[in-house]
Amino acid sequence: MNDETLQRIQQVYGVENWSAGYFDVNSRGHIIVRPAKDDPRYVDLKELVDHLLKDRKLQLPLLIRFPQLLTAQLRTLSAAYQGAIAQYGFKGQHYPVFPMKVNPRREVVEEFLRDSGRCRVGLECGSKAELYAAIAQEQTPESLMLCNGFKDEAFIKTALLGVQAGKRVTIIVEKLNELKMVVKLAQQTGVAPWIGLRAKLYSRGSGKWASSGGEAAKFGLTTSELLQCVRLLKEAKLDGQLKLLHFHIGSQITDIKRVKNAMKEAARVYAKLRQIGCGIEFLDIGGGLGVDYDGSQTRFESSVNYTVQEFANDVVYVIKGVCDDENVPHPNLVTESGRFMTAYHTVFITSIRDEIET
């Protein structure tokens, strides 16, 4: 295949725009997959599929996973935040957390945890099944285990088992009655987990999941409810366990301006809680870091108008600015960027079923 034809293929399919450096087209016109950006090694996807069909006797459709891309994305995310932290003189650290609901497969979770010593990656659990699976995994002492989602007494008791197992379990409270259950069970068992509060911000994300944020959002505590939670913890003498403030304004945020607005609002809430004596150490900004699926670099639902480095820079810069203005310590930053961490590692291959005549 000559260079002109190859350039035409790359232009038509826009591989360079959406592939993040992991996918390309070789001189034979075949899609190739690299284990990391700019890595000279690669797998020819056409040859791989031919081998699976002929020698392994498999049939289409196929779902092929490349675990190396999980590690590569985690390190890209971590490097972006470490770069921003160094650039702006931020005093906190970055703690990436993988939400297990994104992909609860054991191979995926364990691939991330293999790099936990380097990146401090933790896990987020939204169900008892995920929580049991997370407790069974080996994590570094620094790694976090966040408990979100619906919480009944059985869920909270399971989380307390995680505390007894030496995990840094943080139960993130979304409703006042959840906190009452946590306090009751902590007093009964003598086992106190770390506690996080999920704030309901006025800021909203953009794109398909924008309704996850804003004052009409289903989950989260209003300002008055946050203060009620603080009072309840002080009365129960568990205020020392309040370690984290969490918010989430939606997945796949397409517009970086929405990110800046949310960070500014959340940082103000964090600062005010610190000023009334709360010893919060972590600010969990949730998910939202998007993937440019179509390569257009726009605010369209399947794209984003920023890079991961620009996202991290804005998060760190805005939060640092608010904290400095309010004269409070910089928090450690927790991210739950599951989409960004996993999106590239799976390829679905099927045979052509039909053609559209043009």
Is 352 among the domain residues? no
Q: Is the pLDDT of residue 148 over 80?
A: yes
Q: Are residues 71 and 25 in the same domain?
A: no
Distance CA 44, CA 27 (A): 11
Q: Are residues 13 and 122 in the same domain?
A: no
pLDDT category at 212 given cuts 50, 70, 90 is low
What number is the average pLDDT over the span 109-127?
Answer: 92
**Contact of 161 with 193, CB cutoff 8 Å:** no
Is 338 among the domain residues? yes
Quote the DSSP letter at residue 54: H
Is 288 among the domain residues? yes
Cα angle vertex 79, ends 83, 63, to 5°? 155
CATH number, residue 127: 3.20.20.10
Q: What is the pLDDT at residue 209?
A: 42
Q: Are residues 80 and 48 in the same domain?
A: no
Q: Are residues 159 and 91 in the same domain?
A: yes
Give 117 or 42, the one with higher predicted confidence: 42
Q: Are residues 75 and 176 in the same domain?
A: yes
Q: What is the pLDDT at residue 12?
A: 86
Tens digit of pLDDT for each residue in 219-266?
799 999 999 999 999 999 999 999 999 999 989 999 999 999 999 999
Is 219 among the domain residues? yes
Task: Please count the other Cβ atoms lying within 10 Å of the Cβ belonging to residue 24.
Answer: 15
Range of the domain at 25: 3-59
Is 350 among the domain residues? no
pLDDT category at 89 given cuts 50, 70, 90 is very high
Tens digit of pLDDT for each residue in 50-73?
999 999 999 999 999 999 999 999
Q: Are residues 46 and 71 in the same domain?
A: no
What is the amino acid identity at position 129?
A
Q: What is the pLDDT at residue 166?
A: 94
Q: What is the pLDDT at residue 305?
A: 94
Tens digit of pLDDT for each residue in 152-203?
999 999 999 999 999 999 999 999 999 999 999 999 999 999 999 999 997 7
Tens digit of pLDDT for each residue in 90-108?
999 999 999 999 999 999 9
pLDDT category at 208 given cuts 50, 70, 90 is very low
How many domains is the chain partitioned into structurally? 2
Q: What is the pLDDT at residue 204?
A: 46
Q: Are residues 94 and 27 in the same domain?
A: no
Q: Is the pLDDT of residue 211 over 70?
A: no
Is 351 among the domain residues? no
Q: Quick one: angle between helices 153-164 and 128-135, nearest 10?
A: 10
Which among 21, 39, 59 is the end of a domain? 59
Strands (E), 149-292: 168-173, 194-198, 242-246, 282-284
| Cα–Cα separations (whole angstroms), residue 55 to 28, 31, 46, 63, 91 | 22, 20, 14, 17, 55
Q: Are residues 48 and 86 in the same domain?
A: no
Q: Are residues 71 and 43 in the same domain?
A: no
pTM passes above 0.85: yes
- Sorted by sequence, the CB contacts under 8 Å of residue 68 that are 6+ apart come out as 35, 36
Is 358 among the domain residues? no
Tens digit of pLDDT for each residue in 286-326?
999 999 998 888 888 889 999 999 999 999 999 999 999 99
| Cα–Cα separations (whole angstroms), residue 219 to 172, 248, 281 | 11, 9, 22
Q: Are residues 107 and 126 in the same domain?
A: yes
Q: Are residues 152 and 238 in the same domain?
A: yes
Among candidates 67, 34, 57, 32, which has minimal Cα distance to 47? 32
What number is the average pLDDT over the span 338-345?
Answer: 96
Q: Are residues 49 and 117 in the same domain?
A: no
